[in-house]
Structure 1
Amino acid sequence: MNHGFVVWFPHFCAKIVINMPSISQKGQLMPESPIRKLVPYAEEAKKKGVKVIHLNIGQPDIKTPQVALDAVKNNTLEVLAYSRTEGSETYREKLAAYYAKNDIHVSAKDIIVTTGGSEALAFTMSTVADNDDEIIIPEPFYANYNGFATAVGVKVVPVISHIDSNFALPPIEEFEKLITPRTKAILICNPGNPTGYLYTREEIKKLAEIVKKHDLFLIADEVYREFTYDGKEHYSILQEEGLENHAIVVDSVSKRYSMCGARIGCLVSKNETLTKTALKFAQARLSPPTYAQIASEAALETPQSYFDQVKEEYVGRRDLLIQELKKIEGVKIGVPQGAFYCIVELPIDDSDAFAQWLLEEFRLDNETVMVAPAAGFYASEGHGKNQIRIAYVLDKENLKKAVHILKEGLASYIG
Structure 2
Amino acid sequence: MELSKRAREIQASPIRKLNPYANSAKKRGIKVYHLNIGQPDLPTPKEMLKAYHEFSDEVLEYGPSQGLDIYREGLVKYYGNLGIELKVDDIIVTTGGSEAITFAMMVVCEVGDEIIVPEPFYTNYNGFATMAGITLIPLTTYAENGFALPGNSVIEAKISPKTKAIMLCNPGNPTGTVYSREEIFRIADLAKRKGLYFISDEVYREFIYDGLSHTSVLEVPDFEENAILVDSVSKRYSACGARIGCIVSKNKEIMSSVLKFAQARLCPPTVDQLVANAGIYLPETYFEQLKVEYQSRRDLVLSELEKIPGVICKKPEGAFYVFAKLPIEDAEDFIIWMLKEFQIDNETVMAAPGDGFYATPGLGKNELRLAYILCKEDLKKAMYIFQNGLAEYQKLHIGKASS
TM-score, scaled to structure 1: 0.94
319, 327, 331: which is aligned to 2:311?
331
Aligned match of 1:272 in 239, 248, 252? 252
Judge conservation of contact 1:218–1:248 (CA < 8 Å) in 2: yes
Equivalent position SS for 2:117 = strand
Distance 2:84 2:153 in 1: 29
* Paired amino acid for 2:322: C
Q: Distance in 2 between matches of 1:71 and 1:51?
A: 34
Match of 1:257 in 2: 237
Aligned positions, number: 395
The Cα offsets for residues 293-342 of structure 1, whole Å up to 9 and x where unpaired, read as 11011111111111111100001011111111111111111311111011
Deviations for 1:182-204, whole angstroms, at most 9, x for unmatched residues?
Answer: 00000000000000000000000
- Equivalent residue for 1:14? none
Residue from 104, 109, 112 that aligns with 2:92: 112
Bigger CA radius of gyration? 1
The secondary structure found in structure 2 opposite 1:404 is helix
Q: Secondary structure at the match of 1:332?
A: coil
Does residue 28 of the first structure (1) align with residue 14 of the second (2)? Answer: no
Q: Does 1:410 align with 2:397?
A: no
Establish whether residue 317 from structure 1 lines up as the match of residue 310 from structure 2. no
In 2, are the aligned partners of 1:195 and 1:334 still within 8 Å (CA)? no
Partner of 1:345: 325
Alignment of 1:161-200 (within 5 A): 161-200=141-180
Q: Is the 8 A contact 1:138 1:170 kept in 2?
A: no
Question: Does the 8 Å contact 1:134/1:155 carry over to 2?
Answer: yes
Instruction: Give runs of aligned pairs for residues 152-231 of structure 1, distance below 5 A.
Output: 152-231=132-211
Distance 2:280 2:55 in 1: 17
Q: Quote the residue 1:18 is aligned against.
A: none
2:335 and 2:153 map into 1 onto residues whose CA distance is 36
Q: Distance in 2 between matches of 1:39 and 1:109?
A: 41
Q: Superposition pairs for residues 19-168 of structure 1, below 5 Å?
A: 22-168=2-148
Partners of 1:314 and 1:224 in 2: CA distance = 12
Q: Supply the AA of the counterpart residue of 2:196.
A: L
Task: Determine the C-alpha separation between the residues in 2 that align with 1:26 and 1:94.
Answer: 37
CA deviation after TM superposition for structure 1 residue 72, in Å = 1.1
Residues 200 and 235 in structure 1, CA contact (< 8 A), matched pair in contact too: yes
Q: Name the counterpart of 2:273.
A: 293
Amino acid of the structure 1 residue aligned with 2:68:
S
Shift of 1:75: 1.8
Unmatched runs of 5 consecutive residues or more in structure 1: 3-21
**Once the 2 structures are TM-superposed, how far is the Cα of residue 243 of structure 1 from its aligned partner?**
1.0
Task: Give the SS at the match of 1:105.
Answer: coil
Q: Secondary structure at the match of 2:157?
A: helix
1:78 CA drift (Å): 1.0
Question: Identity of paired residues, percent?
Answer: 53
SS in structure 2 opposite 1:333?
coil
Letter in structure 2 aligned against 1:68: M
Rounded to whole Å, the distance in 2 between the matches of 1:172 and 1:341 is 27
| Runs of 4+ displaced beyond 6 Å | none
Give the whole-Å Cα distance in 2 for the aligned partners of 1:275 and 1:256.
25
- Residue from 332, 356, 370 that aligns with 1:376: 356
Counterpart of 2:8, as a letter, is Q
1:245, distance to aligned residue in structure 2 (A): 0.3
Instruction: Spell out, residue by residue over 1:207-243, the C-alpha distance to the aligned partner (whole angstroms, 9 max, x if none).
Output: 0111011100000000010111111010001001021
Alpha-carbon distance in 2 for matches of 1:164, 1:372: 20
**Alignment partner of 1:401 is 2:381:** yes
Q: Secondary structure at the match of 1:178?
A: coil
Where do 5+ consecutive residues of structure 2 fail to align? 396-403
